[in-house]
Amino acid sequence: MSVAPTNFCVITGGEPMLAAGIGELTHRLKSMGKHVTIETAATLPPDDVACDLASLSPKLTNSIPDNRLSARWQSQHETLRLQPEVIHAWLDRFPYQLKFVVTSVRDIHEIQEILTSLSRKVLPQKVLLMPEGTDSDTLHGRSMEVHRLCMQYGYRFCSRLHIELFGNTRGA
C-alpha cells in the first residue's frame, strides 16, 4: 500500500517559537509547497516564521494550573497566559483562527471580553470553541454545552477527536 504525500504540516506543542530553528523550518516547508499551520498560545511574537494559518489558542483563566504546582509557577502562568499585543501581531500578519478551550458556559464571558479587547474585527467563523476534557465522558458532557454556545454565537465547534479515539495518551 502506498500513501500519497501530503502538503499539510502542523507545528504544535506549546510555544513553537521556542524551538531553535523553527523559523528556518517553516520557510523551508513553505518553499517545498507545504501548507504550514502553527498552533500556539500566542504568548510569543511570530518572529521570522512563515505560515498559512495561525491557530491561536489564548489561555483562559480556566487554564491556571492546579495547586500541585508551585505558587511561583502558577503566578507566572497567570501573568503570561494572555498577551494581547502578541495576539495582535499574529492577527495582523497571518490568516488565523482563535481556539478557546471551554470548561463551562461561564467561559463565554471571558472569551467575549478577550475578543472585544483585541480591537480587531474577528468574524465569528474564525472562533473555535473546544470542550476541555481528558476522557470521553467529560468531553461528551461538555460538548453539548459547547455546541449550544457555538450555535448561539455563530462560532465553530472543535472536537478533541484524539481523546475520543486514543484516550489521554501521547504518541498514539
CB 120 within 8 A of CB 126: no
SS3 101: strand
pLDDT category of residue 2 using cuts at 50, 70 and 90:
very low
**pLDDT score of 16:** 44
Give me the torsion for CA of 70, 74, 79, 85, rounded to 10°. 120
**pLDDT score of 17:** 52
Q: What is the C-alpha to C-alpha distance for residues 83 and 85, in angstroms, rounded to an integer?
A: 6
What pLDDT digit, counting tens, does each position of 46-100 carry?
A: 988 999 999 999 999 877 666 666 777 666 666 777 899 999 999 999 999 999 9
Q: Please list the residues that pair with 98 across neighbouring strands.
A: 56, 127
Region 144-159: mean pLDDT is 96
